[in-house]
Amino acid sequence: MTTRNSYRIASIPGDGIGPEVVSATIQVVEKLAKTLGTFNIDFEHIPWGTEYYKQTGRYVSEDCLDTLRKYDSVLFGAVGSPDVPDHISLWGLLLALRGPLQLYANVRPVRTFPGTKCPLNTATDGIDWMLVRENSEGEYAGQGGRSHVGQQWEAATEVAVFTRVGIERIMRFAFETARSRPRKLLTVVTKSNSMRNGMVLWDEIAALVAKDFPDVRWDKMLVDAMTVRMVAKPESIDTIVGTNLHMDILSDLAAALAGSIGVAPSSNLDPTRKNPSIFEPVHGSAFDITGKGVANPVATFWSAAEMLVWIGEKDAAKQLMGCVERVCAAGILTPDLGGISDTQGVVDAVCLEVEKL
Ligand code: ATP
Ligand code: MG
């Protein structure tokens, strides 16, 4: 008898369209596991988010880290609600977990997808990039403060914190990621002309780590010039690494260039694998379409496929993405991609494809 691997996944649907896209994804992944019969997967619901905050005063439970450490991975939807300031909800949930769980690598694959339209005039096959975002330091380290609040001379500082350890670990991860891809090509993004401390340290450590990866071609680029290159010469790019702030911005640009934020996935990884990693769509809670049943579930499907790769079910991930791509290529698309299908219509179509496997 063959033994099947079993996985326990925490599902945190969160706010807005989060519950819609997470529920869509669980249906599809459970169907996949059942049809392939090669692994077991259990999703357990965790109710953290803005409703939980309104009832308890906290976005997550007090023992949230111990709770999550019981799971192999976490599938997350979105956080944010129009009646709570974004910096409170974001720090209450996602940023509260990323730091302590040491999810220092945020990985965002970006490629043109069947059914999406790349707004660029690329004569080539479109875009196929891997974005690596440092996920624990920089301007998002939460350091800084305000003085003379409300007075004319009020001042606020947002201190960007960079450490040698923090930069080196993300740089190694990025070089390894670039090495694992066919083109073995990495661009290190900084702003070391005008930011003369942290960004210069980034440049120095990039050069140091590069010595251990002689088979990876790499270059460095200022972030402003990089925005131009992404639009003007997309084919010259493969893997990109940069700071928390820079890659936050570049990854939205990348998602838009690839056609839609509705298909963009992301992984928050602890590359040491001591803690469970969190997989989530790049988009947020999108309250303008919440409850209408039209949210595009593809970004979350793709995030779940990245999760399957991470936990060791690479073949299942490939099969899942094949099914999703066939459905999109057949024109079964939500309105954000110009289609007329609703979320459940896409789910049903993908489940039908899965049944054919
Ligand atoms: P947050 O503040 O959490 O980032 P948001 O409300 O700003 O959330 P985003 O997720 O950033 O919304 O998305 C911006 C817009 O893109 C949304 O208002 C919505 O119209 C559209 N959008 C985002 N995700 C999807 C999706 N999965 N399907 C369809 N449209 C989407
Ligand atoms: Mg937003």
pLDDT, average across residues 303-320: 97
pLDDT, greater one: 3 or 113:
113
b or e along 307-345 (b: 16 or more beta carbons within 10 Å of the residue's beta carbon)? bbbbbebeebbebbbebbbbbbeeebbbebbebebbbeb
Contact 110, 50 (CB under 8 A): no
Protein residue with least CA distance to atom 31, ligand 1: 262
Q: Has the ipTM of the complex gone over 0.85?
A: yes
Pocket test for ligand 1, best of 25, 261, 324 (most atoms within 8 A of CB): 261
Helices (H), 74-136: 86-92, 94-98
Summarised one tens digit per residue, pLDDT across range 51-97 is 999 999 999 999 999 999 999 999 999 999 999 998 888 888 888 89
Q: How far is the CA of 183 from the centre of ligand 1 (A)?
A: 32
In Å, what is the CA distance from 83 to each residue of 55, 87, 181? 14, 12, 43
Ligand 2 ion: nearby residues, β-carbon < 5 Å: 284
pTM, whole model, 2 decimals? Answer: 0.93
Q: Which atom of ligand 1 is nearest to the CA of 335?
A: 29
- Spatial CB neighbours of 199, under 8 Å, sequence gap ≥ 6: 190, 191, 192
Say which ligand is closest to the CA of 287: 1
Contact 262, 334 (CB under 8 A): yes
Q: 339: which 2 tokens?
A: 């289609």
In Å, what is the CA distance from 115 to each residue of 89, 140, 338, 347? 33, 34, 9, 16
Summarised one tens digit per residue, pLDDT across range 232-244 is 999 999 999 999 9
Question: Does residue 1 have a pLDDT over 60?
Answer: no
- Say yes or no: CB of residue 92 within 6 Å of ligand 1: no
Instruction: Determine the 3-state secondary structure of 314 from DSSP.
Output: helix
Q: What is the DSSP letter of 72?
A: S
- Cα separation, 96 vs 147, in Å, equals 25
- Say yes or no: CB of residue 264 within 6 Å of ligand 1: no
- Spatial CB neighbours of 225, under 8 Å, sequence gap ≥ 6: none
Question: Does residue 125 have a pLDDT over 70?
Answer: no
- Say yes or no: CB of residue 242 within 6 Å of ligand 1: no
